[in-house]
Amino acid sequence: MPNIQEMTTKDGKRFYKIRVSRGRGKSYLSTRWYPPEGWSQKAIERELAKQAAEFERKAQAGEIVSREERAEAIRQQAIEQAKIKTLKQYGEGVFMPAKAVTMSENGRSTYQGILDKWIYPALGDFKLPEITPAEISALLLSMQAAGKAQATCVKAYTVLKSLFKMAYITDLIDRDPMGKVERPKPRKDELKKPTEAESYTAGELKYILDCLQHEPLKWQAYMSLLIDTGLRRGEACGLKWEYVDLDAGRITVAGNLCYTPAKGVYLDTPKSGKTRTVDIAPGVVSLLRQLRQEQAAGGLSPYVFNQDGSPAPMHPQSPTRYMKRFAKRYGVADLHPHKLRHSFASVAIINGADVASVSEKLGHSDKAVTLRMYTHADEESVKRAGDIFREALEAAGDSE
């Protein structure tokens, strides 16, 4: 049974240390859980019990290991490297097992797909030390010639760069060929394509909300929630009723529903690894109340957005498919879940919200991510920046 101890950080923040025994001959494993602000003690104890049980399960299943065990695994991998000759052997025997420790399941699945579809067929049987920059460049160019989008070619470039870097750092190869391979650039036909705006304006979002009134209640609630909070697609799909406080008008984001072909649908932690609590608009509260009543009539699901006729959560790819149909019906350009997330941030920042608050609500671990991904200047915001500057000068003159 896990040992739980309440502790505080140097700056006075409360957390709980969860310690698990794995039996004779194995070291203890521990982790920390920080309760969200505003939670009652009863809610904290309930969630703490879940966190402790899940941590113990992962520890007993070997999904979590100690630093010493990780170091030993790396040492064993190094021993195996001496037996490896081809890129595919290295990818399967060392590179992907190492990535599985540090990457999310979704990221690992993406890497594996690129390796299986493009890299192994072209370079898999080549001896790793003998692969040249020219051969790698030829692979990337062949992908572009086959009509693959630049983003796909860049992913292949990224996987190869990571693979050869690992091989070079561990002295399996004495040179890194990726140093002489150019990152793929867009094809001419890709440059000519008109680029869609990364986000909608407040007026465009209002039009989407008006159109939603003609849609099923589940989709009204789902899309309104995304527009109002900037939640990720999987965070909304993974939302459970136990984390919805309709009286207080807020939800706690504690999970992220994901899908990979290898693992299927599974509930993961939020992308940042931390839970967060966000407020929701009265209109969204009203829709969620109606949805709860409608869902209860057919048997309540633990999930807010469940499959029709089943308590199972809605598939995390369903919203993307639905929004494509919605966009066609109402003439909305380039509608997808992540664009609604961009729109929340852009509209909020353009209209005066501070970046730190927007970053917190979006669940970014680094405010620089919010700035880099969402802050953009349009004609209105550029003019407002000039007006603010001029008003500051006038105010300074009036005070003299």
Instruction: For residues 32 and 153, state if they share a domain.
Output: no
- The answer to the question of residue 389 being in a domain is no
Residues 178 and 97 in one domain: yes
Say what the pLDDT of residue 387 is. 66
Q: Is residue 394 part of a domain?
A: no
Q: Are 347 and 202 in contact (CB under 8 A)?
A: yes
Judge whether 241 and 293 are in contact, CB under 8 Å.
no
For residues 96 and 241, state if they share a domain: no
Amino acid 206: pLDDT: 94
**Contact between residue 85 and residue 97 where contact means Cβ atoms under 8 Å apart:** no
* Residue 177, domain member (yes or no): yes
For residue 110, the domain's CATH number is: 1.10.150.130
Q: Cα torsion for 318, 321, 322, 326, to the nearest 10°?
A: 170
Structural domain containing residue 331: 202-379
| Residue 388 falls inside a structural domain | no
Same domain, yes or no, for 55 and 80? no
**Residues 114 and 70 sit within 8 Å (Cβ to Cβ):** no
Residue 377 has a pLDDT of 45
Residues 76 and 56 in one domain: no
For residue 81, tell me if it sits in a domain: yes
pLDDT by residue for the chain (400 residues), tens only, comes to 789 999 999 888 899 999 998 877 788 888 999 999 889 999 999 999 999 999 998 888 888 888 888 888 887 777 666 666 899 999 999 999 998 888 888 889 899 999 999 999 999 999 999 999 999 999 999 999 898 888 899 999 999 999 999 999 988 899 999 999 999 988 776 654 444 457 888 899 999 999 999 999 999 999 999 999 999 999 999 999 999 999 999 999 999 998 888 788 988 888 777 889 999 999 999 999 999 999 988 778 999 999 988 899 999 999 999 999 999 999 999 999 999 988 888 888 777 777 788 888 888 766 666 666 554 545 555 555 566 666 766 776 665 5
341 is a domain residue: yes
When divided into structural domains, the chain yields a total of: 3
Instruction: State which of 154, 174, 192 marks the end of a domain.
Output: 192
Residue 390: the pLDDT is: 61
Does an H or E element contain 264, and which?
strand 264-268
Handedness of CA 355, 361, 367, 371 (dihedral sign): negative
> For position 310, which CATH number holds?
1.10.443.10
Q: Give the 3-state secondary structure of residue 306.
A: strand
pTM over 0.95: no
For residue 48, the tally of other CB atoms under 10 A from its CB is: 18
150 lies in the same domain as 170 = yes
User: Structure tokens of 279?
Assistant: 């407020």
Looking at the fold, whether 56 and 73 belong to one and the same domain comes out as no
Would 107 be classed as within a structural domain? Answer: yes
Kindly state whether residues 184 and 314 are assigned to the same domain: no
Residue 209 and residue 157 share a domain: no
In terms of domains, do 290 and 361 share one? yes
| Same domain? 73 vs 16 | no
The domain boundary residue, chosen from 22, 43, 61: 61
Q: Provide the pLDDT for residue 193.
A: 47
Same-domain check for residues 346 and 302: yes
- Residue 398 lies inside a defined structural domain of this protein: no
